Amino acid sequence: MLSARYALPHRLRELLVSVCDVCAVLVPRGAERPAGGSNRRLSVQRHGHRTLPPGIYGVGKGATSRPALAVLSHTPPAATQTIAWVGKGVVYDTGGLILKGKTQLPGMKRDCAGAAAVLGAFSAAVKQVGVGRVGAPPAWSGASGGFWLSIHTALPPCSLEQGFKENLHAILCLAENCTGPRATRPDDIHRLYSGKTVEIRNTDAEGRLLLADGAAYALRDLKADVILDMATLTGAQGVATGRYHGALLTNDEDWEKACVAAGRSSGDLVQPLVYTPELHFSEFSSAMADVKNFDRSNAPCSCAGLFIGGQLGFSWSGVWIHVDMASPAYSGERATGYGVALLLALFGRSTDDALLQLISPAGPERHGGASEVAKGAPKRRKLI
């Protein structure tokens, strides 16, 4: 099993159990801190209201701390593929105007576990080499309030010795889902970053709105070949795959097998869900918009993931992977740090670390060479 020490698990667990107001604490306005050299720094840029994707804004607009989209980028010059990890970072989830019950609210500070896992894995993978780069945010006119964050590769140093060979982006979708006069209402209609409109039927189904915008940003602005989103998305995950296995949904059978193998190697177990968008995506049909954001009548865990995948388009030639880790993210009252080891193991072939390469299932060498990955296949369909 991959040692948890590889991914700074203690820091992530402490983050999940102690910090609720993470938007204000981790990304203060105008922050710019040196991190070991003039070419290595953390810079936070605040932009106007026209730059925040509306799905993220709609979830967090009722909170005192404004929502944010944070993008951390590692772009080595010899990279041949672009990988994006998208994390759900709901720093506290009251359910919005469809308020959670009094027994469901305690522990909701852990609803940012997906973003925490992505942050930890990114930190471990790129070794803080100081070559991150983020382009200017796109113009957007569909929201008001909020801000956009561009964070360059410069997290606190760690002891790892590997770098990452491919373009790697960590997209953190940060918001606090609160009640209040400015909060999103059931029946509201938002236009997501993908351009599709969504009818809000349940304000407590907010995570898919964040990830929909994060995934669409990865495709539209970062031109990602592989997009993986990770989230404490549904209570149905615990019913579908239990306390120890995250729920896995992907549009690529080879990557599904690789994810399962990486879970076994790392200890962050995953179990595939039914992937049949031709049967299930119709559950989101709306008379008012392109889609609605909630339906519990059929395969709720699979459908929640399909809502995110639908923003990319089911004909997209790239690889999309969804991991719902609502139950494995915590044990009792404490967070587990689930997800960090899974990401490092899955993409270990893109690092210089011998251990990660050894346990990584993703690569032609582990799958029989050209028999598994055709030489003429588009690069977006190749395993890393």
- How far are the Cα atoms of 26, 51, 54, 104, 356 from residue 116, in angstroms, in the given order? 12, 23, 22, 21, 20
Does 158 reside within a domain? no
Does 279 reside within a domain? yes
Higher pLDDT, 296 or 282: 282
CB 169 within 8 A of CB 88: no
Higher pLDDT, 11 or 302: 302
Name the domain count of the chain: 1
pLDDT digits 0-9 by tens, 142-196: 333 444 444 443 344 443 344 789 999 999 999 999 999 999 999 999 999 999 9
| Average pLDDT in the chain | 79
Q: Please determine, for residue 212, whether its predicted confidence score (pLDDT) is greater than 50.
A: yes
pLDDT at 217: 94
pLDDT digits 0-9 by tens, 63-100: 988 898 988 888 888 899 999 999 999 998 999 899 98
Determine the Cα–Cα distance for residues 344 and 5; give it in Å rounded to an integer. Answer: 12
pLDDT digits 0-9 by tens, 21-47: 544 444 434 433 333 333 332 333 333
Q: Please determine, for residue 131, whether its predicted confidence score (pLDDT) is greater than 90.
A: no
Summarize the confidence of residues 211-233 as an average pLDDT.
96
Does 117 reside within a domain? yes
CA gyration radius for the chain?
19
Q: Please determine, for residue 371, whether its predicted confidence score (pLDDT) is greater than 50.
A: no
The strand pair at 226-231 and 82-93 is best described as parallel
Phi, psi of 72 (to 5 degrees): -110, 130
Q: Which residues contact 154 (CB under 8 A, 6 or more apart)?
A: 35, 36, 40, 41, 42, 128, 130, 132
Q: Which residues contact 297 (CB under 8 A, 6 or more apart)?
A: 283
Determine the Cα–Cα distance for residues 50 and 189; give it in Å rounded to an integer. Answer: 18
Does 34 reside within a domain? no
Q: Please determine, for residue 109, whether its predicted confidence score (pLDDT) is greater than 50.
A: yes
Q: Please determine, for residue 58, whether its predicted confidence score (pLDDT) is greater than 80.
A: yes
Does 18 reside within a domain? no
Q: How confident is the model at residue 226 (pLDDT cuts 50, 70, 90)?
A: very high
Q: Please determine, for residue 291, whether its predicted confidence score (pLDDT) is greater than 90.
A: yes
Q: Please determine, for residue 292, whether its predicted confidence score (pLDDT) is greater than 50.
A: yes
Q: Which residues participate in catalysis according to the annotation?
A: 100, 208
Q: Which domain holds residue 232?
A: 40-128+163-359
The DSSP symbol for 314 reads T
Q: How confident is the model at residue 17 (pLDDT cuts 50, 70, 90)?
A: low
CATH number of the domain encompassing residue 191: 3.40.630.10
Q: Which residues contact 198 (CB under 8 A, 6 or more apart)?
A: 55, 189, 190, 191, 192, 209, 212, 286, 289, 290, 291, 292, 293
CB 50 within 8 A of CB 141: yes
Q: How confident is the model at residue 352 (pLDDT cuts 50, 70, 90)?
A: confident
pLDDT at 119: 93
Determine the Cα–Cα distance for residues 54 and 101; give it in Å rounded to an integer. Answer: 27
Q: Please determine, for residue 137, whether its predicted confidence score (pLDDT) is greater than 80.
A: no
Summarize the confidence of residues 304-327 as an average pLDDT.
96
pLDDT at 178: 92
pLDDT at 384: 59
pLDDT at 101: 79
- How far are the Cα atoms of 94, 95, 111, 383 from residue 102, in angstroms, in the given order? 10, 11, 16, 45
pLDDT digits 0-9 by tens, 230-249: 999 999 999 999 999 999 99
Does 381 reside within a domain? no
Does 291 reside within a domain? yes
Residue type for position 209? L
Does 260 reside within a domain? yes
Higher pLDDT, 367 or 332: 332
pLDDT at 163: 77
pLDDT at 357: 87
| CA 226, 231, 233, 235 torsion-angle sign | positive
